[in-house]
Amino acid sequence: MQDKTRGWLNGLLGVIIFSGSLPATRVAVSGFDPVFLTAARASIAGVLGLLLLIALGVSRPRRKDMASLVTVALGVVVGFPLFSALALQSITAARSLVFLGLLPLATALFGVVRGGDRPHPAFWAFTVLGSLCVVSFALAQGAEASVRGDLLMLAAIITCGYGYAEGGRLSRHLGGWQVISWALVISLPVMLLIGWIFLPTQWQGISAAAWGGLAYVSLFSMLIGFFFWYHGLAKGGIAAVGQLQLLQPFMGLGLAAILLHEEVNSAMLAATLGVVACVGFARRYA
């Protein structure tokens, strides 16, 4: 199997895992403060990442990679989890799809700036078209707007796109799971301190669903998903594989239909088909 094909398959697995992130965060903030949730998920994943690095005897990253690892930590360990958790206090998960549809475009742009990607001009046309499909679908759902929530989600997308691109670049020589593990370890002392400061005063009122949301975003969204995602970006190209994120909102809605028995309407199916076509053409011209 060619490296680029492996990259796309790994990227797809990462997107499947990430598709449950925003719904799980939405559930988790019903029981936890957003700042505590951000610190807790990073701390849990950071401890697991540290144990993994020690168990496998991984050597420390080079000094010149440290600044980039800090950037990754600020983007995907702190920035996106915190901004999205704060935003989801003011907007619905459906509303967040408006901004999630812009994440592939942000990743591609930062991939050009930081990763040295140079896609064909047609790639950008299909990238923008795919983003418009997601945004149009999300707006058609009639989700309520909030200036505060919208600005926070925009900040989440910008920081996440940069963190994805920088992590994908580093993964070319460090390896995907090592990048996210080291980023988590670097941020672990600060996250443990913040988690202690914002520790809930009462635990008995926190629902099982909120605990389940915390478990998912800690294990899957913050750690395991990145093993596949960063490996995919490194092998298949940051800008190209990043387009798979266009499928993430629809995968999340699909999970809601399967697990929560929510309705899947014709508009969702039509938008999904349009996005799949855009991803396919973007891959061809990447």
Q: What is the pLDDT of residue 265?
A: 65
Residue 1 has pLDDT above 60, yes or no: no
Give the confidence band of 285 by pLDDT, cuts at 50, 70, 90.
low
For the chain, percent helix, then strand, then coil, each to nearest 5? 80, 0, 20
Residue 180 has pLDDT above 90, yes or no: yes
Give the confidence band of 33 by pLDDT, cuts at 50, 70, 90.
very high
Phi/psi class of residue 117: alpha, beta or left (left: φ > 0; alpha: ψ in -120 to 50)? beta
Residue range 265-283, pLDDT digits in tens: 676 667 667 777 776 676 6
Q: What is the pLDDT of residue 247?
A: 80
Residue 262 has pLDDT above 60, yes or no: no
- SS3 (DSSP) at 198: coil
**Domain edges within the chain:** 3-285
Q: How far apart are CA 37 and CA 166, in angstroms?
A: 24
Buried b (16+ CB within 10 A) or exposed e, 71-82: bbbbbbbbbbbb
Residue 211 has pLDDT above 90, yes or no: yes
Mean pLDDT of 88-107: 75
Q: What is the pLDDT of residue 173?
A: 86
Residue range 228-261, pLDDT digits in tens: 998 888 888 877 787 787 787 777 667 666 765 6
Q: Which of 86-90, 144-148, 211-215 has the lowest mean pLDDT?
A: 144-148
Residue 184 has pLDDT above 90, yes or no: yes
Phi/psi class of residue 47: alpha, beta or left (left: φ > 0; alpha: ψ in -120 to 50)? alpha
What is the reported pTM?
0.82
Q: How far apart are CA 279 and CA 205, in angstroms?
A: 43
Residue range 99-149, pLDDT digits in tens: 777 787 778 778 777 766 676 777 778 777 777 777 777 667 665 667 788
